[in-house]
Every structure is written in structure tokens, then in C-alpha cells.
């Protein structure tokens, strides 16, 4: 295999800390596609061989309380495995909703203006239900995709602001808002610009469907969002084509998208759509897909509580790098989108590593053990195979 020279060294500054990482995961949605099986729960939330190591589970808040029990089994297993859980609603109970004409389209749905308090209590009831069934939620969302609600419930930015300012404070859980479908800042700017609404928002949640990379950063959040968390709470990427989960090199776009969410967006969580789907991280037969292995390069090694540190994000053409530290280890995720291999030098600043282990996913391998390296003079040089993602782990000294 031809090895092309690296265009530049990658520097890992262990002292330049960026965001705290909460984790990686996906949604379980029994109402729409059926529950994960017991074996699939182990694959999703276990962190052994042939497991994804997910540390976040998103669950569905059915508008009908009689259906809430469907969420319990998988939620309990995820919790048992140490995952954080959060929940999102698509619709309020039917007696709290009304139809209206939106932009000339009749029979659209919204929450009745006199039901905001009752809706906050509805969310509290879900928190209580899950807690009574052995599952403490980390957070609860006000609304899934309020700005893309063709078949669910619409919210305008001013309606979301009203709820966040005047009602969200009564919710007995961390609150996620606004979960825009495409990280549209017009949904979240009003919250960030209102001190009372902002006080009631614990996590700014966003989806990244169709969001250009140039919109991943959010200067207003950096300015106003001190002590708030920033989560990417839903996406699939690059598409939802049938049986696309194992296409290569297309699946490499998953790790590249996560890289950009971490490095450009400073997100603390990255949550996929369905955990199990023919285009998902786990195929319908319960086996991990190429897309899933790409996500596992982050989820299995960058564990909750780790911190992203500054690294040369694009040291040469087609090579993308992010780095993290935690548990007295450094983790580097390196993506090579080139059609030939790259020899890549990594140099540590403000700390150093020792023996380096590596895992590789490429056209023929899935999270396979790669070569071992040793840090010498604060550096090591590794081979990045063509069209691959490699995770490196080293103990810090």
C-alpha cells in the first residue's frame, strides 16, 4: 500500500481543555418500530467486544400515559449500564392540543395557550413515572423539532420563549430546549437573550439535519450559555436510504460528522436517531453496522466525563483529528478520507503518553486492533489506512 507523506504534524495540547463530554447514544422508540430486544440492549449499552458502548439513551414521551410502560425495560437496562437518559415529546395529550391554520395549511397542531401549565405537569408526570419504575431521567425536552412539526406539534419561537420563561421552571428535571430540527438559531436566540427563560433551560438541544458545518458553531451560546450544556440530540447522517448502513466509504461520513459536531460545534453529546434500523448503527438483525462502528470509535473510548482538548483538527488534506482526555488517558480519533494511506505524526504538549494502542475501521475491518506505538520525545508516528477511522489510546504521564 502506498503511503503518502503527511502534510503536517498533529499537535495535541493536553492543557487546552474544551468541552466536557456527556456521551454518545441514540433513541429507542417502541411505539414506532418496536423495542430493542434484550440482546440488542446489551449490544447498545455494553462496552465489551462487539458492543457499541453507548452512554446516552433518548426515549419517547407518548402523549397517552397508558403507553408509558413501553419505555421502561430498555431504559432500565441502559441505566443499569450507566447511561444517562433523557426524554422527548412529539405531542401533548390530545385534550391539551388544538388545530390551527399555519401558513395557509389547515389542521396543524399546537399546544393550547391556556394549557402550558398543565403541559409542564404532564412532563413532570413522566419524570415521576420513570422514577417510580427505577429510572431517573437526566433531562426532559419540551418538544421534539418544534420548527418541523408537519405531523406533530408546532411551536413558534415566541411560544417556546413563553413556555421557557413562565412554565419550565416548574419541571422537576433538567430541561432541554428547543430541539430545532436543523439547529435554527431563531428558535434558541430568544431563550439565550432572556435571563428568566435561560435560567429555566439546562441543556440547549439541537438536531443537525441539513445543518451546514458553517452553522455548527454558536457564538451567542458561548456568550450567554455559561453553566449550560450543549447537546446534539438527534440526527442520522448522511442519509436514511434503505440498507445503507454498511456502504463504504459512505459510512466514514458518520465519524466525520461526529468529528465536526465535537470540534466545530463543541457539542457535549451526540445522539443518533433509531439505534436499530436498516440505515442505523445496529441493523435490524441486531449486528453492528459500518455506521455503528464509526460511531463506536468515539462512544467506546471517549467516555462520560472526558474532556476534549485542543488538537490540530485538519493537519493535512483529508485528515481530521480530535483528542480527549480522561481516566488518566488520552484518546485521539483520526479520520483519513484520502484514497491512500497517510503517515501521521502526533505530538503531545503539556503532558505526554507512553504505549499507544490503536483500533481501525476501514473497508475491510471493523474496530480491529491495529498496531501498537510508543511515544518518544512526546511524539509518535502512525499509519492511517486509506479511507479509515483510527482511535488511539495512551496512558498519560
Residues 298 and 314 in one domain: no
Closest CA to 278 of 266, 267, 287, 268: 287
Domain limits for position 376: 3-15+309-396
Which class for 243: exposed (0-12), middle (13-18), buried (19 or more C-beta within 10 A)? exposed
- Is the CB of residue 115 less than 8 Å from the CB of residue 163? no
- Is the CB of residue 255 less than 8 Å from the CB of residue 248? no
Residues 242 and 146 in one domain: yes
Residues 210 and 357 in one domain: no
Q: Identify the CATH number of the domain in which residue 353 sits.
A: 2.60.40.1180
Which cell goes with 385?
Answer: 489506512
Q: Identify the CATH number of the domain in which residue 53 sits.
A: 3.20.20.80
Residues 340 and 296 in one domain: no
- Is the CB of residue 85 less than 8 Å from the CB of residue 138? yes
Domain boundary among 287, 304, 321: 304
pLDDT for res 352: 97
Residues 194 and 112 in one domain: yes
Strands 269-274 vs 23-27: parallel, antiparallel or unpaired: parallel
Q: pLDDT for 205-248, tens place per residue?
A: 999 999 999 999 999 999 999 999 999 999 999 999 999 999 99
pLDDT for res 1: 45
Distance CA 397, CA 395 (A): 7
Q: pLDDT for 338-364, tens place per residue?
A: 999 999 999 999 999 999 999 999 999
Residues 105 and 142 in one domain: yes
Residues 8 and 35 in one domain: no
Low-confidence ranges of the chain (pLDDT < 50): 1
Residues marked as catalytic:
145, 234
Residues 49 and 172 in one domain: yes
Residues 240 and 358 in one domain: no
Residues 203 and 333 in one domain: no
Distance CA 193, CA 208 (A): 22
pLDDT for res 8: 86
Distance CA 393, CA 354 (A): 10
Rounded to two decimals, the pTM is 0.98
**Count of structural domains, the chain:** 2
pLDDT for res 348: 98
Closest CA to 109 of 61, 86, 141, 143: 143
Distance CA 362, CA 19 (A): 28
Domain boundary among 304, 326, 354: 304
Question: Bridge-partner residues for 56, per DSSP?
Answer: 25, 84
Residues 176 and 321 in one domain: no
Residues 331 and 243 in one domain: no
- Count of CB atoms situated within 10 Å of the CB of 96: 18
Q: Report DSSP state, residue 65.
A: G
Domain boundary among 304, 336, 369: 304
Distance of alpha carbon 253 from the chain centroid: 15
- Count of CB atoms situated within 10 Å of the CB of 136: 12
- Is the CB of residue 258 less than 8 Å from the CB of residue 298? yes
Amino acid at each position: 500500500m502506498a503511503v503518502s507523506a503527511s502534510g503536517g504534524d498533529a499537535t495535541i495540547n493536553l492543557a487546552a481543555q474544551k468541552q466536557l463530554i456527556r456521551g454518545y447514544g441514540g433513541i429507542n422508540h417502541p411505539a414506532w418500530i418496536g423495542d430493542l430486544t434484550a440482546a440488542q440492549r446489551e449490544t447498545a449499552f455494553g462496552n465489551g467486544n462487539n458492543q457499541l458502548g453507548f452512554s446516552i439513551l433518548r426515549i419517547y414521551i407518548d402523549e397517552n400515559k397508558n403507553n408509558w410502560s413501553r419505555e421502561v425495560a430498555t431504559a432500565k437496562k441502559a441505566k443499569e449500564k450507566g447511561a444517562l437518559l433523557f426524554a422527548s415529546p412529539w405531542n401533548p395529550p390530545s385534550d391539551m392540543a388544538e388545530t390551527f391554520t399555519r401558513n395557509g395549511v389547515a389542521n396543524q397542531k399546537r399546544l393550547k395557550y391556556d394549557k402550558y401549565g398543565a403541559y409542564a405537569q404532564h412532563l413532570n408526570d413522566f419524570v415521576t413515572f420513570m422514577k417510580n419504575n427505577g429510572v431517573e431521567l437526566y433531562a426532559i425536552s419540551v418538544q421534539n423539532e418544534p420548527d418541523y412539526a408537519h405531523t406533530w406539534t408546532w411551536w413558534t419561537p415566541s411560544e417556546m420563549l413563553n413556555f421557557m420563561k413562565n412554565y419550565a421552571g416548574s419541571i422537576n428535571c433538567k430541561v432541554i430546549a428547543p430541539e430545532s430540527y436543523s439547529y435554527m438559531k431563531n428558535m434558541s436566540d430568544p431563550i439565550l437573550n432572556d435571563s428568566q427563560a435561560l435560567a429555566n433551560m439546562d441543556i440547549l438541544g439541537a438536531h443537525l439535519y441539513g445543518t451546514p458545518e458553517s452553522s455548527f458553531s454558536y457564538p451567542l451560546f458561548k456568550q450567554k450559555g455559561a453553566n449550560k450544556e450543549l447537546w446534539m440530540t438527534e440526527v442520522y447522517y448522511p442519509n436514511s436510504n434503505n440498507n445503507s448502513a454498511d456502504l463504504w466509504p459512505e459510512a466514514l461520513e458518520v465519524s466525520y460528522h461526529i468529528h465536526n459536531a465535537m470540534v466545530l460545534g463543541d457539542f457535549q453529546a451526540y445522539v443518533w436517531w433509531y439505534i436499530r434500523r436498516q440505515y442505523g448503527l445496529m441493523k435490524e438483525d441486531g449486528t453492528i453496522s459500518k455506521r455503528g462502528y464509526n460511531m463506536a470509535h468515539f462512544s467506546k473510548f471517549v467516555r462520560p466525563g472526558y474532556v476534549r482538548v485542543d488538537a490540530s483538527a485538519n493537519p493535512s488534506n483529508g485528515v481530521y483529528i480530535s483528542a480527549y482526555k480522561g481516566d488518566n488517558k488520552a484518546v485521539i480519533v483520526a479520520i483519513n478520507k484520502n484514497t491512500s494511506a497517510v503517515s501521521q505524526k502526533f505530538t503531545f504538549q503539556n503532558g505526554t503518553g507512553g504505549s499507544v494502542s490503536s483500533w481501525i475501521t476501514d473497508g475491510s475491518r471493523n474496530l480491529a486492533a491495529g498496531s501498537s506505538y510508543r511515544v518518544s520525545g512526546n511524539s509518535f508516528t502512525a499509519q492511517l489506512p486509506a479511507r479509515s477511522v483510527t482511535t488511539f489510546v495512551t496512558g498519560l504521564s
